[in-house]
Amino acid sequence: MAGAAKNRRQGKGQDEIAEAVNGNGNGNAHAARAVLDDEPRENIFLLWPNIIGYSRIVLAFASLYYMPLHPRTCSLLYSVSCLLDALDGYAARYFEQSTRFGAVLDMVTDRCTTACLIVFLSSAFPRWAIVFQGLISLDLASHYIHMYATLAMGGAENSHKNVDKSRSRILSLYYTNKTVLFVACALNELFFIALYLLSFSSPLLSPSLLQSNASAPADGTHHQQILNSSLLTHIFANPHSAAALELARANKMDSFWPWVLAGVSFPVMALKQIINVVQLVKACKWLAEGDLKARRAAGLPRKRKTA
């Protein structure tokens, strides 16, 4: 009897909550929602991995601001932005905050920052502009089609990093091995950073560096005045001003280490472009397979009647 009475009380309590949720109770709908909705609320835009992603964007914009005439400052800001790419993935796994928005934010940031740097290189080395334009197009096309194919063929819940070995061994290794992914992306960016530094340091690649500044005083007092400027003015200097131009010329860089970095990272950069080509081809074939299945399901192509 006691058990039956307890069950009746529990059933009555559940009915009261259900009535309150449906708005049929005595003004207790909000309290019932609090009882049922006891899960913690989250703001996806303020998760730690996404906050790191926003920081990457800010650093990337800052590097673009200093890119025309401040190679050291630009390289430092750009490199930190790239290194944070690994940190946001670690934060997503550590805090269990992996989201689709975060994945898209990460990919878009990667593509845009790399494209902006290569655009600068195409203006710094105009003879190679068509090569740089091709690299931008390949990078954007391969990643876009790969992600679209993953969503269309693998489902909305499938990540673009989940590549089966049967589809492509090299893509599976690239996306599933975190060490391979980090080294490939880091050295790919390092090669373009090295080229950027060479545009300020190597007369072989930038013959304009051989031109002297005829308008500057011979005693170098103007250079010394600029070098003795305050740290705050140096950090927030206008990169397009005449003073910034003089400062860049007064602090010409040695091309030794940029050449070393370019030589070490070039093979990995080339491999990364090969992976982009493989990714593009495999994604196109995957989409074509889906199109064939869809056309067969629709009875296409239709057999034409013969006379």
Identify whether 38 is part of a domain. no
Interval 53-82 mean pLDDT = 94
Residue 177 or 206, more confident: 177
Give the best-scoring range by mean pLDDT among 4-8, 13-17, 201-205, 258-262.
Answer: 258-262
Q: For residue 134, is it within any domain?
A: yes
Give how many domains the chain has, as a whole number.
1
How far apart CA 288 and CA 277 sit, in angstroms, is 17
Mean pLDDT of 143-156: 92
* Statement: residue 241 has pLDDT above 70: no
Catalytic residue among 85, 88, 106, 110: 110
User: Residue 248 pLDDT > 60, yes or no?
Assistant: no
Q: Say what the pLDDT of residue 48 is.
A: 96
pLDDT in tens, 101-115: 999 999 999 999 999
Q: Encode pLDDT of 180-200 as tens digits.
A: 999 999 999 999 999 999 998
Residue 265 included in any domain: yes
Mean pLDDT of 18-39: 51
Please give the pLDDT value at position 129. Answer: 96
The dihedral sign for the CA sequence 242, 228, 220, 64: negative
Predicted confidence (pLDDT) per residue in 159-177, tens digit: 888 898 888 999 999 999 9
Q: Looking at the domain assignment, is residue 223 inside a domain? A: no
pLDDT at residue 51 tops 80: yes
| Percentage of residues in the chain having pLDDT higher than 70 | 72
Residue 46 vs residues 53, 57, 105, 229: alpha-carbon distances, Å: 10, 15, 13, 39
Residue 48 lies in a domain: no
pLDDT at residue 11 tops 70: no
Q: What are all long-range contacts of 250-254, with beta carbons under 8 Å and residues at least 24 apart?
A: 250/223, 250/226, 251/72, 251/227, 252/200, 252/201, 252/209, 253/71, 253/72, 253/197, 253/200, 253/201, 254/201
Please give the residue that has the higher pLDDT: either 111 or 245: 111
In a domain, 6, yes or no: no
The answer to whether position 116 is within a domain reads yes
Structural domain range at position 246:
102-206+234-296
Active site residue 85: no
- For the entire predicted model, the pTM comes to 0.76
Given a cut of 50, is residue 35 above it in pLDDT?
A: no
158 Ramachandran zone, left/alpha/beta (phi>0; psi -120 to 50): beta
Which position has the higher pLDDT, 16 or 185?
A: 185
* Token pair belonging to 282: 């495999």
- Mean of all residue pLDDT scores within the chain: 82
Whether 71 is covered by a domain: the verdict is no
The three-class DSSP label of residue 122 is: helix
Q: Is the pLDDT confidence value at 228 over 50? A: no
